[in-house]
Structure 1
Amino acid sequence: MPLVCVCSPKGGVGKTTVAANLAWSLARAGSKVLAIDFDVQNALRLHFGVPLSDGRGFVARSEEHSDWSQSILTTGGNIFVLPYGDVTEEQRERFEDRLARDPHFLQRGLDTVLRYPGLVIIADFPPGPGPAIKAISALADMHLVVMLADTASVSLLPQIENNRMIGQPLNNKHGHYFVLNQSDNRRNINRDVTAFMQQRLGEQLVGVINRDESVGEANASQQSVYDFSPASAAAFDIELISKRIASLLNVTVGNGEVQAPIRTNHY
């Protein structure tokens, strides 16, 4: 059960889109994938075709049910989604307070899915530090940090390198790695930042995703970039990244093993 946390020190970097398409790529390769949303914006579900009007999620129900798997939605195929859900500000505050105060709260909530054999979990987090990213650090197998090919992202590298996200190293298992998103070779600053990041991060940079209009168009149609434009540059880049992550985590995909079904809700 590898758990990959997709995070970033800043917003607007395409983090949720990367998380969703990474989940799609791993599922296409044969893995069962659960995408979990820890961001109050509740946007990850939209990448998997969940209707905008469907406000179900685990945060509101966590006040009554310790097993969050009861809020999993099935999308068909190998991908399952655990949405944050539509919540009030009071519900959000109570949830984050429990994350911060109860060291076993998150473990209890995810226990069922953490024990599911062969499941790959991709968890999307809000930008910057927060109680969820800190609480999950003991459970995570890898952190994937999404940055842009711009100077703002370069200026925020010290937040990761100096352990400012959670006050300690992001990951003590397989470590943390970086993805550089929306790199555009037509722009000098993008080329320069990409070259700098490649030199600075070395093997910690698992891939660069080229700027590609098909990504935004796929998002608008609630599709993966693979379904919308399988021959696009972004689809190729994300597939390479997913293969690198699977290799780092020793994930065996497409093994054909028959497993008990995950309990899900349909939408």
Structure 2
Amino acid sequence: MPLVCVCSPKGGVGKTTVSANLAYALARSGSKVLVIDFDVQNALRLHFGVPISDTRGYVAQATAAVDWSQFILKADANLFVLPYGEVEEEQRLAFETSISRDPHFLLRGLNTVLNYPGLVVIADFPPGPVAALKAVQSFADMHIVVMLADTASLSLLPQMENHKFLGAPMNSRLGEYYVVNQSDMRRNLSRDVSQFFEQRLGDRLLGTIHRDECVPEANASQRSIIEFSPVSAAAFDIELISKKVAAIVGVKVGDGEFYAVPNHGIK
């Protein structure tokens, strides 16, 4: 079971969209994928066809429930989502306090899904060095940092490389990698920043996702970019990134063979 954390030092980089489309691509290749939302905005579910009126999630009951797998929703044959859910301010604070005070709180809640054979878990975090991101640092298998092809993201790269984001190396297992999102090769600045990231990061750069008007349209229709426009530039970019992620975490795709574990939210 690989746990892949998608994060960013800044907001507005398309992190949730990247998480959702990466999950779709891996599931399409044959992996069972669970995506977990750690953001109070509760927006990740909307990428998987969950109605906006469906406010279910794990956070409201996380402090009382030991096993959070009971709150998992099925999005597709191989695709599952664990929504943050709609919560009151007191519930959000109780959840974050539990994370801060108990170093094993998240691990207990996710223990069942983290031990599900063959499952890829993608966790989407809010921007910045939030408590949940710090809490999974010790057991996450891989971190993906999403940046934009702009000067604001570029200025934050030294902070990431010098381990100032979380105060320590982000990942001690398979490492930290980067995705540059919304690169527009028609604009000199965007092209130059993208090229700088490529030269600076080398193999740590999983790929660049080109700016594509099909992406917001796919989001609006609650579909993946690969389903909405399979021949688009963004769909091609996501496919390549998903193959690299699968190779790094050691996921076999395309064979369709999985193990069944009883008493689970994933069937």
Q: TM-score, normalised by structure 2?
A: 0.97
Aligned position for 1:264? 265
Q: CA separation in 2, counterparts of 1:69 and 1:159?
A: 35
* Amino acid corresponding to residue 124 of structure 1 in structure 2: D
Q: CA separation in 2, counterparts of 1:78 and 1:36?
A: 15
From the superposition, tell whether residues 15 and 258 of structure 1 become closer, same or farther in structure 2 (CA, over 3 Å): closer
Aligned position for 1:237? 237
Matched-pair contact (CA < 8 Å) for 2:140–2:171 = yes
Aligned position for 2:127? 127
Matched-pair contact (CA < 8 Å) for 1:226–1:235 = yes
Q: CA separation in 2, counterparts of 1:18 and 1:72?
A: 20
Matched-pair contact (CA < 8 Å) for 1:71–1:265 = no
Check if 1:198 corresponds to 2:198.
Answer: yes
* Amino acid corresponding to residue 145 of structure 2 in structure 1: V
Aligned position for 2:144? 144
Q: CA separation in 1, counterparts of 2:261 and 2:228?
A: 28
Aligned position for 1:12? 12
* Amino acid corresponding to residue 110 of structure 1 in structure 2: L
* Amino acid corresponding to residue 109 of structure 2 in structure 1: G
Aligned position for 2:85? 85
SS in 1 for 2:80: strand
CA distances 1:169-201 after superposition (whole Å, capped 9, x unpaired): 110000000000000010000011011111111
Q: CA separation in 2, counterparts of 1:76 and 1:206?
A: 26
Aligned position for 1:213? 213
Q: CA separation in 1, counterparts of 2:163 and 2:98?
A: 23
Aligned position for 1:76? 76
Aligned position for 2:42? 42
> In the TM superposition, what is the alpha-carbon distance from 1:107 to its structure 2 partner?
0.8
List alignment gaps of at least 5 residues for structure 2. none
Aligned position for 1:65? 65
* Amino acid corresponding to residue 63 of structure 2 in structure 1: E
Matched-pair contact (CA < 8 Å) for 1:3–1:141 = yes
List alignment gaps of at least 5 residues for structure 1. none
The alignment covers a number of residue pairs equal to: 266
User: Percent identity, aligned pairs only?
Assistant: 67
The two structures, once aligned, show a CA RMSD in angstroms of 1.3
From the superposition, tell whether residues 258 and 205 of structure 1 become closer, same or farther in structure 2 (CA, over 3 Å): closer
Q: CA separation in 2, counterparts of 1:84 and 1:32?
A: 20
Q: CA separation in 2, counterparts of 1:265 and 1:145?
A: 27
Q: CA separation in 2, counterparts of 1:164 and 1:59?
A: 28
Q: CA separation in 2, counterparts of 1:168 and 1:218?
A: 37
> In the TM superposition, what is the alpha-carbon distance from 1:264 to its structure 2 partner?
3.4
SS in 1 for 2:55: coil
Aligned position for 2:184? 184
Aligned position for 1:247? 247
From the superposition, tell whether residues 265 and 170 of structure 1 become closer, same or farther in structure 2 (CA, over 3 Å): closer
Q: CA separation in 2, counterparts of 1:26 and 1:265?
A: 16
Q: TM-score, normalised by structure 1?
A: 0.97
> In the TM superposition, what is the alpha-carbon distance from 1:265 to its structure 2 partner?
8.9
* Amino acid corresponding to residue 81 of structure 1 in structure 2: V
> In the TM superposition, what is the alpha-carbon distance from 1:257 to its structure 2 partner?
2.2
Q: Which moved more, 1:233-242 or 1:54-63?
A: 54-63
> In the TM superposition, what is the alpha-carbon distance from 1:100 to its structure 2 partner?
1.0
SS in 2 for 1:207: strand
Aligned position for 2:56? 56
Q: CA separation in 2, counterparts of 1:13 and 1:261?
A: 36
> In the TM superposition, what is the alpha-carbon distance from 1:164 to its structure 2 partner?
2.1
Deviation beyond 2 Å, 4+ runs, structure 1: 254-259, 261-266
